[in-house]
Structure 1
């Protein structure tokens, strides 16, 4: 009798949310039933239905008739949608970041195993790190690998000139994102999720944190929400706790910088391998976006002047901010690879030519042993 009453309540609840056209809520409800059911065959059938749900083939199709949310004052769209995200290049990350991103993909590709274990895939992810280290690129990569559209929140648009409407704008964006089988990126999260004890902020901005917390708590397991910030120290502590996964992006290590530089140069310059080795030293402590900007500037100059790109790469080899050991290593590599003469290596690095010759002799002696 009790089981029959439970079935009746569940059926009525399912009918209510289905008639309200809340597809994400229907999926979330069926996911809960699949996890809690004592009937293995029912659980298996529901899992299979969820895996093959129609929205997978065309995530935006069912919501195409629903207009993107707009700011009531400016009428600007609050979201930018990339239905098929395109990457300017493949991301290069540290082992730890790459493993985390790969696991997040595997969770979505093998939801059945998680449900059978009574688990949900990760639904809220926080990207932190300085500008230009690949946070937005990682969001694009995740969306592309999941074959889902990427929805990007334009925080400059959501911040209404009438602050009282900003909370409403944020709710509209997040409600819309819940209805789409996509990946939502909240960029520059610190703009709306600052610490509530920050005396420099007015009450309305503090209330935005509460709105965001409510939405994060209510985010469906079928969706993916990614937030990114360059200023993690500004975030309200309560916001940190709402994210299930934290991914910390750092300035690229030398090997990552070398691979990135080689990918940019291998079709435009001879000895791309050698240039990537030395430039990874000269451009250490730079972000991926800074490295890209610097190399593209050199490429433009070469194209305009009709010079070889090598001539515009040499001036980039100044390493005044690097350690003495880095400068010596760079000078030796420059001469050893034949990119420049010992005299030019001295001019670029400040390392004495005698030191360069001694190190070169040591390298040669090591190879002959």
Structure 2
């Protein structure tokens, strides 16, 4: 995903290299993935790297009860974005570009999809048109084919979460980061940032160390997990040397005897 976004930047920063091979920069890119995984942030980064203005159109906000007006509104925005080099992000694309074979959709909305497809086809190579969706399965198949590049933004893995937590915590990065990474497994970057910011605010209000506050918030999250899941986290923490058996027991609520016994069973297998 990172490499694909960087290539978009490189193509627009060095179009002359592509021209020597008879090529032009990718005009359009579709970002797919769940909320909070960095789609909008990637668009901002691209605009910054290319030193172009970023225009954001939230399609869910321009949907009018009079659908004919929506088509006109979208065309006006796209025409404006075409008038000079820029990066345009169409957010919540699935709000408009739904499958045209969906019997529940009215004919006017289907015509709106056609309008959007025509505008994408006419997009100039001097600008970059990006679109983002949390629900790629709702998009009309013809929409997928119109984009030069499709980039999937998955939920962050362990390494990505750890890097994000270090960034969000800054100079206050806690020592027991492994515990927090496991607590936040399956979370988006936005979820992780909210988690850390809540901890920083609580720490500032109560005069506590951020490390202690984040551990407490982590324990609160673990209460929603069953015994098997908490045992798995405890064993993982001890196995990787992040925490001692005693500390892992305190944080997960799993007894030291259970952790010790399961470790022995695992080693003997």
TM-score clears 0.5: yes
Alignment partner, residue 256 of structure 2: 353
Q: Is the 8 A contact 2:230 2:254 kept in 1?
A: no
1:220 aligns with 2:124: yes
Partner of residue 42, structure 2:
138
2:186 aligned to 285, 288, 298, which one? 285
In the alignment, the residues of structure 2 paired with residue 230 and residue 284 of structure 1 have an alpha-carbon distance, to the nearest angstrom, of 19
Q: TM-score, normalised by structure 1?
A: 0.65
**Separation of aligned partners in 1, 2:100 and 2:183:** 42
Find the aligned partners of 1:237 and 1:360 in 2 and give their Cα distance: 50
Distance 1:324 1:235 in 2: 41
State the Cα distance separating 1:264 from its structure 2 match.
Answer: 1.6
Tell whether 2:164 aligns with 1:260.
yes
Kept after mapping to 2: 8 A contact 1:282/1:330: no
CA contact (8 A) 1:331 1:351 kept: no
Counterparts of 2:39 and 2:152, CA distance in 1: 9
Query: Which of residues 184, 190, 197 is equivalent to 2:101?
Result: 197
Q: Distance in 1 between matches of 2:259 and 2:170?
A: 27
Q: Which residue of 2 aligns with 1:34?
A: none
Report whether the alignment pairs 1:314 with 2:205: no
Following superposition, the deviation at residue 138 of structure 1 comes to: 0.3
Runs (5+) with no aligned partner, structure 2: 265-269
The structure-2 alpha-carbon separation of the partners of 1:109 and 1:334, relative to structure 1 and needing over 3 Å to count, comes to: closer
Deviation at 1:313, TM superposition (A): 1.2
Deviation at 1:225, TM superposition (A): 0.3
Query: Of 282, 299, 302, which aligns to 2:200?
Result: 299
User: Paired residue for 1:123?
Assistant: 27
Contact 1:331–1:346 (Cα < 8 Å) also in 2: no
CA–CA separation in structure 1 for the residues paired with 2:148 and 2:257: 56
Q: Who is 1:335 aligned against?
A: 243
After superposition, what is the alpha-carbon deviation per residue over 1:190-245, rounded to whole angstroms, capped at 9, x for unaligned?
00100011122212111110001101111111110000000000000000000010
Conserved? CA contact 1:328–1:351, under 8 Å: no
Structure 1 residues 64-91: Cα deviation after superposition (integer angstroms, max 9, x where no partner): xxxxxxxxxxxxxxxxxxxxxxxxxxxx
How many corresponding residue pairs?
Answer: 257
Distance, in Å, in 1 between the alignment partners of 2:117 and 2:81 is: 16
Q: What is the aligned partner in structure 2 of residue 180 from structure 1?
A: 84
Considering only CA atoms, is the larger Rg found in Structure 1 or Structure 2?
Answer: 1
The alpha carbon displacement at 1:356 in A equals 4.5
Deviation at 1:301, TM superposition (A): 1.3
User: Could you say what the CA RMSD is over the residues aligned between the two structures, in angstroms?
Assistant: 2.2
Give 2:16's aligned residue: 112
TM-score, with normalisation over the residues of structure 2? 0.88
